[in-house]
């Protein structure tokens, strides 16, 4: 009922509601919100009060008193905590616009290919409750491909591998739709976890998750260095034996060993996709190769690791952390040209 007036007063938004990061794209302005999907609460007498959202909340992770809870409401690309997710989305949407009953934006959100009907409904409902006029859903691999600049409407097949915080989605697209897709619960979070476990088992030190992420992002590599240990970095944690603060060194070789399992699982998902598609599309992939998106695409030598295994050309998309949000924005602008791919109700 507020349709035409509403669009004059507000900005339509494309939202990438990720396990690690939430981004909002607004046409004409680009990405206007880019924040960790984290909320910090103060809990008193059983009542919760939001004290920080995004970067400020992430800063508090792992170092809060008992009265403060730091929550990541998204898990594996879907909502794990509905109430917190809604608060977070509302907070970010208000940063873009003052959402009111007279000015409710039209919103498109991307959802993992593997999300169930219930999970999709929860995502749509949280965006509507946060103040959207309508909430359309688009499969994440299609958004990632659009954001990476791929021509998805033609008959030429392409493969997109989106390595996020919670999941890696491998998809083969043709004629604007998904021919094959798979999603594995392996992404940056699991890589951090393997590093934390490695530090405990091999270096006898409890490493914090934020330290693990920082080390993975700066020095992490998908392949064991060909000669020597590679670069080294020191970090602090709690010693396994005495429990006192301690400092040790970790090398790129050690990090690559720690990351071996997540990298192997991603390789295998790509290999399975290659085996499951029709031969005509295999021929297209031979020509076009694989495009990597998501934060995990920034892991050093992940492109080489995937090339060695699949023999396909592997390209890292420009600005891989932003592809899904940019692509969701492109989908919003394309509207009906994308046909039934954007699902406005279910
Ligand atoms: N340089 C880097 N090397 C390796 N990993 C990185 C790098 N930079 C960021 N990452 C990781 O990328 C992940 C975040 O990526 P992204 O924002 O694409 O995930 P997301 O969209 O929130 O998650 P999902 O798509 O699974 O819901 C984090 O785990 C982060 O640690
Ligand atoms: Mg993502």
> What digits encode the pLDDT tens for the residues 243-264?
899 999 999 999 999 999 999 9
Name which residue sits closest to atom 18 of ligand 1, judged by CA. Answer: 294
Residue range 58-84: average pLDDT? Answer: 91
- What pLDDT, on the 0 to 100 scale, is given for residue 98? 62
- What pLDDT, on the 0 to 100 scale, is given for residue 254? 98
- What pLDDT, on the 0 to 100 scale, is given for residue 2? 46
What is the rounded CA–CA span in Å between residue 298 and residue 131?
A: 34
Q: Among the atoms of ligand 1, which is closest to the Cα of residue 167?
A: 26
Task: Write down the H helix ranges in 148-187.
Answer: none
Band the pLDDT of 1: cuts 50, 70, 90.
Answer: very low
Name which residue sits closest to atom 12 of ligand 1, judged by CA. Answer: 295
CB 137 within 8 Å of CB 108: yes
Q: Where in the chain does DSSP place strands (E)? A: 13-17, 21-26, 30-36, 39-44, 47-53, 68-71, 74-75, 78-79, 106-111, 134-139, 158-163, 168-174, 177-184, 205-206, 232-239, 245-251, 290-293, 314-316
**Rounded to 5 degrees, what are φ and ψ at 324?**
-65, -45
Verify whether ligand 1 is closer than 6 Å to residue 96 (CB atom).
no
Q: Among the atoms of ligand 1, which is closest to the Cα of residue 140?
A: 25
CA of 324 to the centre of ligand 2 (A): 7
User: What is the value of pTM for the model shown?
Assistant: 0.94
Domains of the chain: 3-37+72-142+324-341 (3.30.420.40), 150-186+263-320 (3.30.420.40), 188-260 (3.90.640.10)
Verify whether ligand 1 is closer than 6 Å to residue 321 (CB atom).
yes
Token duo for residue 66: 């008992």
CA of 164 to the centre of ligand 2 (A): 5
Q: pLDDT per residue over 30-56, tens digit each?
A: 999 999 999 999 988 888 899 999 999
CB 233 within 8 Å of CB 249: yes
What is the rounded CA–CA span in Å between residue 154 and residue 340?
A: 16
Residue 8 has pLDDT above 70, yes or no: no
Verify whether ligand 1 is closer than 6 Å to residue 327 (CB atom).
no
Q: pLDDT per residue over 131-178, tens digit each?
A: 999 999 999 999 999 999 999 998 899 999 999 999 999 999 999 899
């Amino acid at each position: 009922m507020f349709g035409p007036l509403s669009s004059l007063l507000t900005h339509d938004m494309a939202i990438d509601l990720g396990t690690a990061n939430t981004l909002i794209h607004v046409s004409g302005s680009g990405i206007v919100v880019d924040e960790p999907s984290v909320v910090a609460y103060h809990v008193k007498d059983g009542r919760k009060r939001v004290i920080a959202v995004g970067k400020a909340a992430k800063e508090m992770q792992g170092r809060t008193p008992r009265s403060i809870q730091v929550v990541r409401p998204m898990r594996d690309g879907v909502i794990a905590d509905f109430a917190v997710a809604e608060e977070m989305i509302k907070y970010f949407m208000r940063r873009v616009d003052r959402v009111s009953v007279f000015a409710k934006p039209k919103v498109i959100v991307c959802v993992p290919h593997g999300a169930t009907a219930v999970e999709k409904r929860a995502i749509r409902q949280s965006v509507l409750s946060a103040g959207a006029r309508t909430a359309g859903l688009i499969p994440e691999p299609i958004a990632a491909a659009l954001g990476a600049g791929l021509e998805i409407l033609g008959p030429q097949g392409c493969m997109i591998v989106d390595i996020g915080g919670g999941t890696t989605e491998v998809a083969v697209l043709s004629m604007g739709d998904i021919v094959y897709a798979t999603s594995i619960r392996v992404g940056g979070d699991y890589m951090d976890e393997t590093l934390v476990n490695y530090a405990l088992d091999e270096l006898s030190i409890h490493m914090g998750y934020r330290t693990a992420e920082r080390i993975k992002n700066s020095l992490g590599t998908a392949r064991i260095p060909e000669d020597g240990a590679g670069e080294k970095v020191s970090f602090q944690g709690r010693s396994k034996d005495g429990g006192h603060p301690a400092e040790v060194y970790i090398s790129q070789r050690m990090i690559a060993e720690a990351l071996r399992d997540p990298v192997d699982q991603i390789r295998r998902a790509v290999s399975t996709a290659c085996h499951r598609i029709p031969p005509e599309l295999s021929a297209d992939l031979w020509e076009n190769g694989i495009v990597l998106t998501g934060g995990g695409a920034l892991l050093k030598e992940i492109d080489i690791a995937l090339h060695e295994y699949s023999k396909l050309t592997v390209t890292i998309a420009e600005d891989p952390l932003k592809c899904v949000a940019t692509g969701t924005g492109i989908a919003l602008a394309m509207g009906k040209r994308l046909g039934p791919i954007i699902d406005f109700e279910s």
